[in-house]
Amino acid sequence: MQRQATVSPAQWWHLTGLSRLIRDTRRRRGEPSDQAGKAIVWAPRWSPSLALLQSVWTAPVPGVRVPLSYVASNEKRPVGLGQIRPRREPHQWEVAYLAVEALAAGTNGSLRLVPDRNAARLLGELCDAAIARHADRVLARVADDGGRYELFRQLGFSLAVREYSYFRTLPPPSPESAAPAQELAKRIHGLRPQHGADAPGLLRLYEKTTPKMIQLVEGKRSQSWDLMPVGIGLRLTRRSGVQRWVVERDGERLAWLQIQRLARGPQQVRILVDDRAGELNQSLVDFALDVLGPQEVGGVMVRVREHQPRLIAALEATQFFLVDAQLLMAKMLATPVLRPRFGRVLEKVVYSYLSAFAA
């Protein structure tokens, strides 16, 4: 029988005990995500060790929301770690890391696959921590297998959409790919870099191409499509950067493309195309490959959703192959209702007036 673990916020003395858990859950190439001994949730490009340090740091930077880390302990021994991070949209948090070590005898310390009682308690504490920070929803991306889905479903999460990751190696450089991106963009009518005024039009594009259920889950606003400022972390990262492109025709935004260059790992590409201009799927895929062609490291990773069949067909026609499938799940939280200060002041004024009138 599995012992009941206690869950508490991470502290400095947990760092040493959690290092082995993080090391055992480290992802390795070529290994399936549902293999025993893997983390239940591990967001791409997420460092649990760095997030753990940010959580226990006693001098937070004003105005900066840091990730939250919670530890499951059994007899003062850390057996699980859960982390949530704030999303760009306000009042939204995302499960970035979740792993629990098995405590049963004979398992040799290997990690236990869900469903797991300690994992459920840890996930519940993460949701309570989000509620305490006035969050209205918590999102998570989990592998498309039965165990992880059942764990989140038991905690009140519901499935929003399936997401697929397609990968291919970069093609060898060609004379055309050596041209600047502005020259390559002339091959597609209306393609130009994104401007600050494109945010409202891109929101309308998102609403046209995305099912209503997903829109309710993600809660995107016009500000969600604004150009992100270049922070100091991006400035200090070599050969990193984000390019955003828009296809505008007759004053209407028909497509959106994001190319994210990374110093390590595959380059990330996101594409959103209006159904009335479906031919742009293949054109934007070819354009992204030409822009990234001169690079000599990594490959290209494109994340698509199940309601984008034309984009999936364009990727498969360009020698992309499926490498991962994930479920985007969400839980709507019952946030506490805060009484406005004006109401309390008005109550005092009315009470004083009635007291004076009665006297």
- Which pLDDT value is given to residue 167? 94
- Which pLDDT value is given to residue 110? 47
pTM for the predicted model, two decimal places: 0.81
Highest mean pLDDT among 138-152, 206-220, 238-252: 206-220
Phi, psi of 210 (to 5 degrees): -120, 135
Nearest to 119 by CA among 46, 12, 41, 45: 41
Q: Which two tokens stand for residue 275?
A: 């159904």
Percentage of residues of the chain with pLDDT beyond 90: 47
Contact assessment for residue 74 and residue 67, using Cβ atoms and an 8 Å cutoff? no
* DSSP letter string, 264-286: SSPEEEEEEE-GGGTTHHHHHHH
Residue bearing the bigger pLDDT, 357 or 320: 320
Average pLDDT, the chain: 82
Cα atoms found within 13 Å of the Cα of residue 67, Cβ hemisphere only: 22
* Count of other CB atoms within 10 angstroms of residue 222: 13
Q: Where are the beta strands (DSSP E) in 127-176?
A: 137-143, 158-169
Domains, the chain, ordered by start:
6-156 (3.40.630.30), 165-319 (3.40.630.30)
Q: Which run of H or of E encompasses 59?
A: none
> What mean pLDDT do residues 304-317 have?
95
Cα atoms found within 13 Å of the Cα of residue 264, Cβ hemisphere only: 4
Nearest to 222 by CA among 190, 199, 250: 199
Condensed to tens digits (0 to 9), the pLDDT of residues 121-163 reads 999 999 999 999 889 999 999 988 767 888 999 999 999 999 9
Nearest to 256 by CA among 239, 243, 241: 243
Amino acid occupying residue 144: D
> What mean pLDDT do residues 41-52 have?
90
Amino acid occupying residue 169: T
Radius of gyration of the chain, Cα coordinates, nearest whole angstrom? 24
> What mean pLDDT do residues 153-180 have?
83
Least confident of 197-211, 240-254, 342-356: 342-356
Nearest to 49 by CA among 90, 86, 16: 16
pLDDT at 349 over 70: no
- Which pLDDT value is given to residue 174? 63
Can you tell me the distance from the alpha carbon of 302 to that of 287, in angstroms, rounded to the nearest whole number?
Answer: 13
Condensed to tens digits (0 to 9), the pLDDT of residues 103-125 reads 554 444 444 444 678 899 999 99
